[in-house]
Amino acid sequence: MKRTLLIDISNSFTKAAIATGPRIGRIHRMPTPELSPATLRALDGKTKLDSVFLSSVVPAKNSAVLTAFPHAVLIGPHLDLGVGIDYPNPASIGGDRLANAAACAVLYGAPAIVVDFGTAVTFDVLSAEGSYIGGVIAPGLNAMTNYLHEKTALLPLVKLKEPKSAVGRSTIDAMLAGAVHGYRGLIREILSQITAEAFRKKKPVVVATGGDAKLIAGKLAIFDTVDPLLTLRGLLIIADKNTHASF
């Protein structure tokens, strides 16, 4: 059965997994600054890989993958994605966003909005015809809380979790309430604006993925599903459509 190494390089963390046929195996998560050819080669074990597919928003780290796996395929609009692209500059779309769109179209249908909660939170929009038409980029939740800690003298660095109440009874509780409830407000408003502008005739499927998806989207009824593996699933879907680009 075909073995495909899937790698998703984001700003903070890199996720990698080997898919055997349609099944995605154990997820390896490592800080992106620590990514190296050696750490990547350790993932493949002793069994030959049939292909390696990569999405990346950190171009400086792409060479580490290509050193370890010279025939790795970088996700881009030149591949068969299974979705159309109705966007002025397709080459500027991040590979992770294309992978999310590809997975959403196959697994959840269109029209759709994918919200990826990472270092930045991205909203990617699929039209009713199944084409990628654009999106929104906003600061990620950790970026907001880290900024407060770095730019103030007294506010600590908080570990994100569900706040006890909307009215904080300590500095940490107040920061958690502001971060989590405030962030849900940001997400809700952006989704409302996208839906009103782009989907007047048919309600879109709304899918969440990324590190903070469970915390934020899990309490928002507007989301239809939370899929932590959406990007890797999209990479595998694209890999299957582009066997000519594999080893």
- Residues serving a catalytic function are 96
What is d(CA 137, CA 117) in angstroms, rounded to the nearest whole number?
10
Under 8 Å between Cβ of 55 and 75: yes
**Rounded alpha-carbon distances, angstroms, from residue 62 to 90, 240, 245:** 19, 21, 17
Side chain identity at residue 8, one-letter code? D
> Residue 147's Cα: distance from chain center in Å?
22
d(CA 142, CA 120): 9
Q: How far apart are CA 157 and CA 175, in angstroms?
A: 9
Residues 6+ apart with CB under 8 A from 188: 220, 222
8 A C-beta contact, residue 53 and residue 72 = yes
How far apart (Å, rounded) are the C-alpha atoms in residues 207 and 221?
A: 11
